[in-house]
């Protein structure tokens, strides 16, 4: 069996009691240096490894953090999870992952499962309409949690980015370049990020005192196929836009595919800017001008906030908005 050396065995080998061993392991009460050393030696000799399940049961707590993440595909999530990973590793926290598939029913089940595992805390990217399912569950079984990406209108710890400002900025860039018919492919409805990015788009026009044609907002559902459909639809119009702002990575891929299939080139036939950066953005054409989120930092920050909360549950909830960076390339028509 794996790690079958128990504290009892160490205690016997060291000629002390289990409680002493427990205390040297956890540093939970002073132990005489000499005794301590004897125990340490015995642990070493027998190759003792702690058994977290037993500790969890006895102590009523875990060092495992639950991750309820919508998906692992696309480019955004992996980097985020890498951030979780790295920060968790630094603090010896384990990560239990569960995918929620952007669906509040799946999500509730996933979270229930994580809760059953008696996790110390939870990191979640809320699905649309989670208020009546997952959030309710979380209120019934209160554990520390932090919301990531889709910042909500609830009292909780949250990390995300400035969606509105950065969207406005990148759209304004298109306006400044002289575009008047700028379409937006919007994300999945019910996500706060979708709302905020749309607000940014609208704000850019309002700021310039330009009227927005509401038909230029096309839903893309945050998926590749949705992005493709949206672009196809835009191209089929009698007065297609001259520029497009895509609100997330997968949709951007779909939209570009649609352009390719129509034999149109970016930026010559259609200018394009997008939310979310592609790690390979410099290697392929078109070279997209994007809003780059600090994914890794967001992930790391989420874990830090959770740790803070675990240490002091009485702290006031904190909402953190990191600033994305606008990566200026050529798809907007510049250069």
Partner DNA sequence: CTGTTAGCGCCTTCAA
Partner DNA sequence: TTGAAGGCGCTAACAG
Instruction: Compose the 107-146 pattern: x for residues touching a copy of itself by CB under 8 A, - for all others.
Output: -----xx-xxxx----------------------xxx---
Q: Does 25 bind DNA (CB under 7 A)?
A: yes
Nearest alpha-carbon partner for 36 in 48, 25, 46, 52: 25
Residues 240, 243, 249: CA angle, nearest 5 degrees: 115
What's the DSSP call for residue 280?
A: T
Q: Cα separations (Å) of 142 from 145, 167, 197?
A: 9, 35, 31
| Binder of residue 178, out of DNA, a copy of itself, none (CB less than 5 to 8 A by kind) | none
For residue 272, the Cα-to-chain-centroid distance in whole angstroms is 25
Q: Does 20 bind DNA (CB under 7 A)?
A: yes
Instruction: Compose the 140-179 pattern: x for residues touching a copy of itself by CB under 8 A, - for all others.
Output: -xxx------------------------------------
Q: Does 8 bind DNA (CB under 7 A)?
A: yes
Q: Does 37 bind DNA (CB under 7 A)?
A: no
Nearest alpha-carbon partner for 75 in 220, 274, 312, 285: 274
What is d(CA 110, CA 100) in angstroms, rounded to the nearest whole number? Answer: 7
What is d(CA 166, CA 250) in angstroms, rounded to the nearest whole number? Answer: 19
Q: Does 26 bind DNA (CB under 7 A)?
A: yes
Q: Cα separations (Å) of 158 from 112, 135, 152, 176, 310?
A: 20, 14, 8, 34, 14
The residue (of 59 and 210) whose beta carbon lies closer to DNA is 59
Other residues' Cβ atoms within 10 Å of the Cβ of residue 334: 12
| Binder of residue 22, out of a copy of itself, DNA, none (CB less than 5 to 8 A by kind) | DNA
Q: Does 285 bind a copy of itself (CB under 8 A)?
A: yes
Interacting residues with DNA (CB under 7 A): 4, 6-8, 15-20, 22-23, 25-26, 28-32, 34-36, 50-51, 54-55, 57-60
Interacting residues with a copy of itself (CB under 8 A): 1-3, 49-54, 56-57, 60, 62, 64, 71-74, 77-79, 81-82, 85-86, 89, 94-99, 112-113, 115-118, 141-143, 224, 253-254, 256-257, 260, 278-280, 282-286
């Amino acid at each position: 069996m794996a790690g079958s050396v128990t504290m009892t065995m160490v205690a016997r080998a060291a000629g002390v009691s289990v409680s002493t061993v427990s205390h040297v392991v956890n540093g939970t009460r002073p132990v005489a240096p000499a005794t301590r050393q004897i125990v340490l030696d015995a642990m070493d000799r027998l190759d003792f490894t702690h058994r977290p399940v037993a500790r969890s049961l006895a102590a009523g707590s875990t060092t495992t953090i639950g991750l309820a993440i919508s998906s692992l595909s696309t480019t955004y999530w992996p980097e985020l999870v890498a951030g979780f990973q790295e920060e968790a590793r630094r603090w010896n926290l384990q990560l239990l992952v569960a995918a929620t598939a952007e669906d509040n029913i799946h999500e509730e089940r996933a979270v229930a499962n994580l809760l059953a595992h008696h996790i110390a805390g939870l990191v979640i990217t809320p699905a649309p309409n989670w208020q009546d399912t997952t959030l309710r569950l979380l209120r019934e079984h209160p554990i520390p949690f932090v919301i990531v990406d889709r910042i909500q209108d609830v009292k909780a710890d949250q990390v995300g980015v400035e969606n509105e400002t950065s969207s406005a900025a990148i759209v304004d860039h298109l306006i400044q370049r002289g575009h008047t018919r700028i379409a937006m492919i919007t994300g999945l409805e019910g996500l706060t990020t979708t709302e905020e990015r749309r607000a940014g788009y609208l704000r850019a026009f309002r700021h310039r005192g330009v009227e927005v044609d509401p038909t230029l907002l096309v839903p893309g559902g945050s998926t590749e196929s949705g992005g493709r459909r949206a672009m196809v639809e835009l191209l089929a119009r009698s007065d297609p836009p001259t520029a497009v702002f895509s609100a997330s990575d997968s949709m951007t891929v779909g939209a570009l595919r649609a352009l390719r299939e129509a034999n149109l080139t970016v930026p010559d036939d259609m200018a394009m800017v997008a939310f979310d950066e592609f790690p390979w953005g410099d290697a392929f054409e078109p070279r997209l001008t994007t809003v780059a989120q600090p994914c890794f930092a967001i992930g790391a920050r989420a874990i830090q906030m959770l740790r803070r909360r675990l240490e002091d549950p009485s702290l006031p909830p904190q909402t953190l908005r990191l600033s994305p960076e606008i990566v200026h390339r050529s798809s907007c028509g510049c250069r």
